Amino acid sequence: MTIRHKAAALLSALLATTAASRVLAAEVDLQIHSSGPTSGSYYIAVHEYADGFPGDGATTQLRVAVGASEQSVRLPVLADGRYAIAVFQDLDGDGELDTNLLGMPTEPHGFSRDARGNLGPPSFEDAALHLAGAQRLTIRLAD
């Protein structure tokens, strides 16, 4: 099942109506590798802006059921540009990335470019990459 932000829906509509013009699109095939159990859901958040990364500032979000430890997910078509992607595996079905008393994630999670933060999440800059055309990306989840 796919949940789309309004912005993403608008974007898709825009892309559809201007297909003949010079707007470029990114079609991303995201490979998620998880060493955790093959259960629950992956929550995938695509961020265009540093503001609200990796929290609630995503421009596109989707949820897919976990079927394999290496799973391919086709992202909604994005406008060509710079993005950072955050993924977590929701094992207990509460729709949230669970954390411990110190705010450290306790469910598998990962970022584009396999970025890792210093004692916290990575910065948008560390995870951001240019997406254009048909592209394949791999994110390895750590727990």
Partner 1 sequence: MNRRDFLRCAAGTGILGSATSSGALAAGGWFPIATSTAASGEASVAALDERWTLGLSSVTRDSLGAASGEIEILHGRIPATLRGTLYRNGPARHGRGGRRYTHWFDGDGMLQEFRFDDAGLSHRGRFVQTRKYREESRAGHLLYPGFGTRDASLRQPASADAMNPANISVIAHDGELLALWEGGSAHRVDPRDLSTIGRQRWSEASAGLPFSAHPKRDRDGSLWNFGIAPGSGRLVIWHIGADAALRQVRALPLPGGGAGGEPMVHDFAITARHLVFLLPPFEFSAAAYADGASFLDSHRWRADGAMRALLVDKADWDRQRLFELPAGFVFHTGGAWDDRDAVYLDYQRYADASVVTGYARQIMRGEPARADNRAVQLRLDLRGGGAQEMKIGGHGEFPRLHPRHIGRRYRYRYALADGAADAATRQPFFSAIEARDLRSAIALRYDYGAGIAAEEHIVVPRPGGSGERDAWLLGTALDWRRGRTLISVFDAAAVDAGPLFQAALPYALPLGFHGNFVTA
What is the binding site for partner 1 (CB under 8 A)?
A: 35, 98, 100-102, 104-106, 109-110, 115-120, 142-143
Secondary structure class of 30 (helix, strand, coil) = strand
Tokens of 63: 């949820």
Euclidean distance between CA atoms 15 and 34, whole angstroms: 32
Q: In terms of CB distance, is 17 or 35 closer to partner 1?
A: 35
Tokens of 8: 């993403």
DSSP 75: P
Shortest approach of partner 1 to residue 104 CB, angstroms?
5
Q: In terms of CB distance, is 83 or 88 closer to partner 1?
A: 88
DSSP 111: E
Shortest approach of partner 1 to residue 142 CB, angstroms?
3
Shortest approach of partner 1 to residue 73 CB, angstroms?
20
Q: In terms of CB distance, is 16 or 101 closer to partner 1?
A: 101
Cβ(66)–Cβ(34) below 8 Å? yes
Tokens of 98: 């669970």
Euclidean distance between CA atoms 34 and 16, whole angstroms: 34
Shortest approach of partner 1 to residue 92 CB, angstroms?
8
Q: In terms of CB distance, is 116 or 136 closer to partner 1?
A: 116
